Amino acid sequence: MSFTSASFLLFAVLTLLLYYTLPKRWQWILLLGASYVFYFFAGAEYLLFILFTTAVTYLCGHLMQKRADAEDAFVEANRETLSKAERKEFRAAEKKKRFRILLMGLLLGFGVLAVVKYTSFVLSGISSIGQAFGAAPLRIPELLLPLGISFYTFQSMGYLIDVYRKTARAEKNPLRLALFVSYFPQLIQGPISRFGDLAPQLFSEHRFDGFRFRAGLGRVAWGYFKKLIVADTAMIAVKALVENKDGGFTGVYVLLLILLYSAQIYGDFTGGIDITIGFSELLGIRLAENFDRPFSSRSTKEYWRRWHITMGTWFTDYVFYPLSVTKSMQRFSKWSREKLGTAVGKRLPVYFATVTTWFLTGLWHGAGWNFIVWGLLNCLVILVSQELQPLYDRFNRHFPRLTASRAWGAWQALRTFLLMGLIRSLDCYRNVPTTFRMWASMLTDWNIGELFLGGLTSFGLSVSDWCVLLGGILLLALGSRLGKKRPVREWLAERPILLCAALCLLAVAILLFGAYGIGYDASQFIYNQF
Amino acid sequence: MKKKILCCAALLLATVLLLGFLQLLLMPKYMADKQEGALVGEYYRETTAHDLLFIGDCEVYECFTPPTLWEEYGVTSYIRGSAQQLPWQSYYLLEEMLKRETPKAVVFNVYALKYGTPQNEAYNRMTLDGMQLSREKLSAIRASMTEGESLLSYLLPLLRFHSRWDELSAEDWQYLFHRDTVSHNGYLMQTGILPKTSDREGVPLADYTLPATAMFYLEQMRLLCEEKGVALILVKAPTNSWRYYWYDEWDAQIADYAEANRLSYYNFIGLDGEIGLDWSTDTYDGGAHLNVYGAEKLTSYFGEILCRELGLTGHRENAEIAAVWEEKLDAYKQEREKGNTP
Amino acid sequence: MEQLLEILKQLHPDVDFALEEDLIGDGILDSLDIVTLITEINCTFDVSIPAEEIIPENFASADAILALIERLDEE
């Protein structure tokens, strides 16, 4: 059931009706049931995977909590007799034991993800090495990739780490934990929620709140608009440009691809998240935001604070920080400081942790070299700009008027947008050498003139498709600009008649101009394979 | 509060009306071009009952002419056929018609029995969109959908044709609320002549068994006719082309089926002498289908058989029916005349 | 406190850390800065800041960081 299918709409309406008519204490049970129905429709065999992850998460969380409670009770009971050093030692020993349980949970949880997502990648790597030495190619099994497995695995493993760190208490009720893992609106594209944020929302009783309901409706409709009008129209062109049947889509077409793919992924991903968060708002559940107008970022670092936020903070909190403050890392830092000087020593641990984090971020996005190179390039840009910071600062001091101007800000945003788009195109071609060749062709093939000789309509977009797409993008930009201080939907939610008119208008526009149905390939959200 | 609710209700109603209007506007009209798409819907305009109902694919709506049956035998008939009309579509159309009237006989052309699976979305549309909403229509849709099609888009064709907004023509506005009649009781007239040229045989097939699904629907048709007390007659229209080839192996299976169930089966292939067909003048597409001259000859020949077998006497004395049919005949002759003088 | 302010000054010479109240929320310290900072603190103060203590509240201001160091030293 994709968000854009009629069956999802029906499913959503039925869920909402039941949600507000059933007794409030059953609301979370209904959500659990709905989530499993949703998942069942995606593929009955997928249920096994999510059940396994849920069971592992529940058991490990429960075990760690039991140890932690016993530990606290022991320390409390022997407060008088234990010395500070003894207490410290006891707690450290307990932490180690908890860590073993955590490790088992992580191994099992990420293990499933690794097997279904990366087996074929690893095997084909081994196979090609083997072939280089004359071995026969390996048979690579086709494993099914359960819907949203990356998202729910990350969410569950984050919960386990939180319990280990004692920043969250383990959930006692296995059914409640099952809902936390499987909450269906975020199964497809995230966001990746934290237990501490999401659990109280899921399990409290929700009264129908007219204002929030209306705002939620507005957000869902806006999400469909982004997805069906902008993303799916752009996708037609992106597909044709990437396929590059006659080999002619080089040079300026690569630039076009970068722009169109930016529109596509923005519409698809932020639209999907709008539907998720908006639908949750209909249920009275508030989810973490995943985007903060990312395309107006002025630097790569800023961009990654504003794009796919919940994934970024997940990696920062659960990979980057722990990795950089481990004892061995700190020892390594001290050592390198003594041997290689303060400047290098200060940087080494940070750099090591940054590179590792981005490598894993790339891998999370997909099993392929293109994703790994994509992650490392992002990392490279961030580290280089980090190193150049003193240079920027000097520039700022010399030209304060220029760097404070709006034009300078716009230039920085444009630069960041294009750079991110360029790196992102690795995700289109799905092949590193091809992508690099295409990038090079932007400098070598000066075919900009072709665009005006029919080139613009040579990859699946007619003149009217272009009008729809550009109009849609314009409206997106306008909506984003107007909603800078306060989202437009909230303003509309206070004016029900205007909201109703806006919804009707959006519905007509989507039905008429949306890229759906026969003639267009029914497209799934880009992010659900990740 | 009340005012607000009323306002919103009015807005919603206006939106629904607008969408309804857009749907009428965006649906293909099949008037100037691809007239086959308009055939199925024209049945509902009939005011009088019929002695005979023809069902099948292009081989019925190009090869039999109801006005000729009236002119020569006083027999009333209707052809419910459309382009590549598949066996299940024929079955459900028949079921729909037999709910409205009880003819003497149903004539089914067997060519489409070679298809056992849904074929083509565009042809599905041309057959099914013309049907009025009914249980039969829903069943026909379910049986016909190819991959990627949805039932919903048949109930709300706007979902299918929404992207036509940039190719709207004057025709779409002109036929917003009505359609012209393009057929003569289901017969789509072709006055052109393109003689048959090649003598190629059909390409050999790996398996000559007619699909079980197709034969299942034939059986359903037989049972339905039996239940309603209507005779079922099987025919195979004459063709003389390697493209729409009718294999002897297929013919044998139909003949066996007809014999086992005591049905009449007439295969007109190879009866050129008796019928008087001349493949240099009586076809408009090189031997695949008959033109109006060929169709009249075939109808005349077959009409005699039908009258004999079914004991049809005609309705010439019935003034009411005669008035309706003389008008139809006039329209038919006029169009035939126009086609003769290019 | 002096030592801590000195470390912070090295990270961003143009910021007056004694006055800032929301270093994370205002985007003055990013994750790279935090890790550099922690490494420095670990060296200078001989404490070890574990990953679970890296939350915005603990790094909001120089005072908060100092409080964190003292608390960890205490435990």
A184's tokens: 């269906």
Alpha-carbon distance B186 to B36, whole Å? 10
CA distances from A472 to A216, A234, B122, B129 (A): 21, 10, 30, 31
Say what the pLDDT of residue B331 is.
95
Each residue of C14-59: pLDDT tens digit?
A: 788 888 888 887 778 888 888 888 888 887 887 888 888 888 888 8
Tell me the β-bridge partners of B266: B235
pLDDT at A342 over 80: no
The values of phi and psi at residue A524, to 5°, are -95, 160
**Min Cα separation A511/chain B (Å):** 7
Size of interface A-B (CB pairs under 8 A): 51
Work out the average pLDDT over A417-442: 92
- Which residues have a Cβ under 8 Å from the Cβ of B328 and sit 6 or more positions away? B66, B67, B70, B184, B185
Nearest by CB to residue C51, choosing from A166, A325, A334, is: A325
Distance of CA A28 to the CA centre of its chain: 25
Strand order from edge to edge, sheet including B105-109:
B77-81, B52-56, B105-109, B231-236, B264-267
3-state percent breakdown (helix, strand, coil) of chain A, nearest 5: 75, 0, 25
Tell me the β-bridge partners of B233: B107, B264
Q: To probe the interface with C, which of A302, A314, A321, A335 has the most C CB atoms within 10 Å?
A: A321
**Which residue on chain C is closest to A382 by alpha carbon?**
C32
> pLDDT-derived band of residue A522, with 50, 70 and 90 as boundaries?
very low
- Count how many residues are written for chain B: 342
Each residue of A57-111: pLDDT tens digit?
A: 999 999 999 999 999 999 989 888 888 888 888 988 999 999 999 999 999 999 9
Say what the pLDDT of residue A530 is.
41
- Which residues have a Cβ under 8 Å from the Cβ of A198 and sit 6 or more positions away? A180, A183, A285, A287
Alpha-carbon distance A22 to A40, whole Å? 23
Rg of chain C over Cα atoms, rounded to whole angstroms, equals 11
**Min Cα separation B142/chain A (Å):** 16
The secondary element (H helix, E strand) that includes residue A329 is helix A327-340
CA distances from C4 to B41, B244, C43 (A): 85, 90, 11
Angle at A278 between CA A276 and CA A283, to 5 degrees: 95
Work out the average pLDDT over A4-20: 93
- A and B touching (3 or more beta-carbon pairs closer than 8 Å): yes
Which chain A residues have a beta carbon less than 8 Å from that of B158?
A: 511
In C, what residues contact A, Cβ < 8 A? Answer: 14, 27, 30-32, 34-36, 38-40, 42-43, 48-52, 54, 75
Provide the b/e sequence for A60-97 (b: ≥16 CB within 10 Å).
bbbbbbebbeebeeeeeeeeeeeeeeebeeeeeebbee
CA distances from A427 to A239, A359, A417, A461 (A): 12, 15, 16, 21
Sign (positive or negative) of CA dihedral B271, B275, B281, B286: negative
**Min Cα separation A373/chain C (Å):** 21
DSSP B276-339: T--TTTSBSSTTSSB-HHHHHHHHHHHHHHHHHHHT----TT-HHHHHHHHHHHHHHHHHHHHH
Are A310 and A155 within 8 A, CB to CB?
Answer: no
Work out the average pLDDT over A251-269: 94
pLDDT at A207 over 80: yes
The values of phi and psi at residue B77, to 5°, are -155, 165
Lowest mean pLDDT among A129-133, A152-156, B182-186, B246-250: A129-133
pLDDT at A529 over 60: no
Q: Specify burial of residue B259 (Cβ count, 10 A radius: 0-12, 13-18, 19+).
A: exposed
Alpha-carbon distance C15 to C13, whole Å? 6
B231: alpha, beta or left, given left = phi > 0 and alpha = psi -120 to 50? beta
The secondary element (H helix, E strand) that includes residue B105 is strand B105-109
Domain-by-domain residue ranges, chain C? 2-74
This prediction's pTM: 0.88
Say what the pLDDT of residue A523 is.
39
> pLDDT-derived band of residue A158, with 50, 70 and 90 as boundaries?
very high
Mean pLDDT of chain A: 90
Are A278 and A189 within 8 A, CB to CB?
Answer: no
Side-chain-side CA neighbours of residue C36 (13 Å): 20
Nearest by CB to residue B158, choosing from A462, A511, A520, is: A511
Say what the pLDDT of residue A528 is.
40
Q: With CB atoms and an 8 Å threshold, state whether C30 touches A301.
A: yes
Which chain A residues have a beta carbon less than 8 Å from that of C43?
A: 333-334, 337
Query: Can you tell me whether residue B209 is helix, strand or coil?
Result: coil
Neighbors of chain C by Cβ distance (3+ pairs < 8 Å):
A
Say what the pLDDT of residue A22 is.
93
The values of phi and psi at residue B33, to 5°, are -125, 150
Domain-by-domain residue ranges, chain A? 6-207, 209-287+447-515, 310-426
Work out the average pLDDT over A496-504: 93
Which chain A residues have a beta carbon less than 8 Å from that of B18?
A: 508
B66's tokens: 């109801």
Which chain B residues have a beta carbon less than 8 Å from that of A464?
A: 165-166
Which chain C residues have a beta carbon less than 8 Å from that of A337?
A: 43
Alpha-carbon distance A359 to A323, whole Å? 13
A411-419 long-range contacts, Cβ below 8 Å, gap at least 24? A412/A298, A412/A299, A413/A295, A413/A296, A413/A297, A413/A298, A416/A297, A416/A298, A416/A299, A416/A300, A416/A302, A416/A303, A417/A262, A417/A295, A417/A297, A418/A258, A419/A300, A419/A381
> pLDDT-derived band of residue A189, with 50, 70 and 90 as boundaries?
confident
Neighbors of chain B by Cβ distance (3+ pairs < 8 Å):
A
Are A362 and A371 within 8 A, CB to CB?
Answer: yes
Distance of CA A73 to the CA centre of its chain: 40
A478's tokens: 């306008």
- Which residues have a Cβ under 8 Å from the Cβ of B307 and sit 6 or more positions away? B73, B75, B313, B314
Lowest mean pLDDT among A357-371, A466-480, C13-27: C13-27
Alpha-carbon distance A167 to A83, whole Å? 25
Pairing assessment for the beta strands B105-109 and B52-56 based on DSSP bridges: parallel
Neighbors of chain A by Cβ distance (3+ pairs < 8 Å):
B, C
Angle at A443 between CA A440 and CA A448, to 5 degrees: 120
Q: In C1-75, which residue ranges form alpha helices assigned H by DSSP?
A: 2-11, 31-45, 62-74
Residue given tokens 């069942």 in the structure block: A40
In CATH, which of 3.40.50.1220, 3.40.50.1820, 3.30.1490.20, 1.10.1200.10 is domain C2-74?
Answer: 1.10.1200.10
Lowest mean pLDDT among A34-48, A58-72, A507-521, B327-341: A507-521
Say what the pLDDT of residue B341 is.
60
C29's tokens: 């310290």
Give the CATH H-level superfamily of domain B27-198+205-340. Answer: SGNH hydrolase (3.40.50.1110)
Say what the pLDDT of residue A132 is.
81
- Which residues have a Cβ under 8 Å from the Cβ of A22 and sit 6 or more positions away? A30
- The segments of chain B whose pLDDT lies below 50 read none
Tell me the β-bridge partners of B231: B105
The values of phi and psi at residue A280, to 5°, are -60, -35
The values of phi and psi at residue C30, to 5°, are -105, -175
Angle at B192 between CA B189 and CA B193, to 5 degrees: 130
Name the residue among A283, A268, A265 with its Cα closest to residue A217.
Answer: A283
Q: With CB atoms and an 8 Å threshold, state whether B148 touches A522.
A: yes
Alpha-carbon distance A277 to A283, whole Å? 10
Angle at B231 between CA B227 and CA B235, to 5 degrees: 130
Name the residue among B229, B231, B241, B234 with its Cα closest to residue B214.
Answer: B234
Q: Which amino acid is at B77?
A: S
**Which residue on chain A is closest to C49 by alpha carbon?**
A325
